[in-house]
Amino acid sequence: MTTNKTNKFTVPIGPQHPALKEPGHFEFTVDGEIVTGATARLGYVHRGIEKATESRNWIQDVYILERICGICSHVHAMAFAQGVEMLANVEIPPRARAIRTLIAELERIHSHMLWAGVAAHEGGFDTLFMYIWRDRETVMELLEMLTGNRVNYSANVLGGVKFDVQQDQIDEIRKGMDKLEERSRYYLEIVTTDETFLGRTRSIGIMDKKDAAVLGAVGPTARASGVERDVRVDVPYAYYPDFPTVSITDNAGDLEARFVVRMKEVLESVRLIREILDHLPEGDLAVRVPRRIPEGQVISRVEAPRGELFYYIESNGTDTPERVKVRTPTLPNWGSVLALAVGHKLADMPMILVGIDPCFSCNDRMVHITNNKNNDQVWSWEQLRQYGIEYYK
């Protein structure tokens, strides 16, 4: 293989690649097996949901925003609903808050187990992948039992929740939690003791506390580097003020720590779910929210399974929002991937990429440049056409 400074050997990963579950493009410059440079290009799955919200009314927006992410769908609807309730000055009943939190935590379990399976697959440990996904079915079935759906639960309405939790469902959830707790403990043991797996995760992709803070990492990625960043703890919302959760951190900062943090978070979620079920408040499920939301701006933050989910909502007093801005946790985490990649082996790239639990379609946004004078990045249609003709000549 020729590797000198003028003739760089680059290995492209994506837009279509077996390691990626969604399209994204990464180019790794390698020297033999060692990566010497990394670049990312995103934006293949831009869907224009932010713009779409502006032509739909507030209630319809709950459903379209829920479809931003196919894994953590509930938190999107929850963040939006919370923001709108703040704008409308509505206090939702305690039982609704509890059920929202309950589903959010169930979703966290499902998301973390899904990630653990995918990450194990990237490391070539398919047996672990298959086992984790089998046990993940437990929580998927619980979510289906509660809401009727496995993916987009549609549990939220503006002003509360749609579904109540019955006594027999509580019993089922408790049973499921027992199983999940046992299995999660087992997987925690596997990821910290299995020799071949540790060979792929221990001391790989180390990000220290300072780097994590500087690069702006969020969620389990930051917490695995010892940065205590958890919206549930920092600015409790929904039912977290009543039943606080513990922020789980690990100081190692490597891939193993990310497994450990996520598995421990599953255990913490199990504890929290049991506690919520023990103290489920009585009362209504929802209150009325006006069709037209008063003028104003609001920022709503929740802790998605992948980290901080940020919503900015602006209302102009009509029945449609003026602007909805969503920043998903994957975006702030990208920096850490590109910084970590350099110096590692090509074989570690898929695991480092997946280590942040990326969700490509959630974070893809479009930039529209309004002032295009004297800007060589902005091309007119005629220029583009000419470029195309020249390119294929």
Q: Footprint of another protein on this chain (CB under 8 A)?
A: 1, 9-12, 17-19, 30, 33, 120-128, 130-131, 134, 194, 196-197, 199-200, 345-350
Considering the complex, state which of residue 27 and residue 208 has its C-beta at the smaller distance from another protein: 27
Q: How far is the CB of 147 from another protein (least distance, A)?
A: 27
Q: How far is the CB of 116 from another protein (least distance, A)?
A: 13
CA-closest candidate to residue 129, choices 142, 139, 115, 141: 115
CA-closest candidate to residue 162, choices 174, 173, 149: 149
Q: How far is the CB of 188 from another protein (least distance, A)?
A: 16
Rounded (5°) CA angle 259-250-212: 95
Considering the complex, state which of residue 348 and residue 364 has its C-beta at the smaller distance from another protein: 348
Q: Give the tokens for residue 188.
A: 């925690």
Q: Tokens 């027999």 identify what position?
A: 168
What is the number of residues in the chain? Answer: 393
Q: How many Cβ atoms from other residues are within 10 Å of residue 241's Cβ? A: 11
Considering the complex, state which of residue 130 and residue 366 has its C-beta at the smaller distance from another protein: 130
Q: How far is the CB of 270 from another protein (least distance, A)?
A: 22
Q: Tokens 């290009």 identify what position?
A: 41
Considering the complex, state which of residue 230 and residue 348 has its C-beta at the smaller distance from another protein: 348
CA distance 78 to 158: 9
CA-closest candidate to residue 351, choices 71, 107, 131, 128: 128
CA distance 314 to 297: 4
Considering the complex, state which of residue 12 and residue 241 has its C-beta at the smaller distance from another protein: 12
Residues in contact with 40: Cβ distance below 8 Å, sequence separation at least 6, in sequence order:
24, 25, 26, 334, 337, 338
Q: How far is the CB of 348 from another protein (least distance, A)?
A: 7
User: φ and ψ at 241, to 5 degrees?
Assistant: -60, -35
Residues in contact with 16: Cβ distance below 8 Å, sequence separation at least 6, in sequence order:
23
Considering the complex, state which of residue 30 and residue 324 has its C-beta at the smaller distance from another protein: 30
Contact indicator for 88, 290 with CB cutoff of 8 Å: yes
Considering the complex, state which of residue 173 and residue 188 has its C-beta at the smaller distance from another protein: 188
Q: How far is the CB of 102 from another protein (least distance, A)?
A: 29
Q: How far is the CB of 367 from another protein (least distance, A)?
A: 30
Q: How far is the CB of 68 from another protein (least distance, A)?
A: 26
Contact indicator for 221, 337 with CB cutoff of 8 Å: no
CA distance 268 to 135: 17
Considering the complex, state which of residue 121 and residue 229 has its C-beta at the smaller distance from another protein: 121
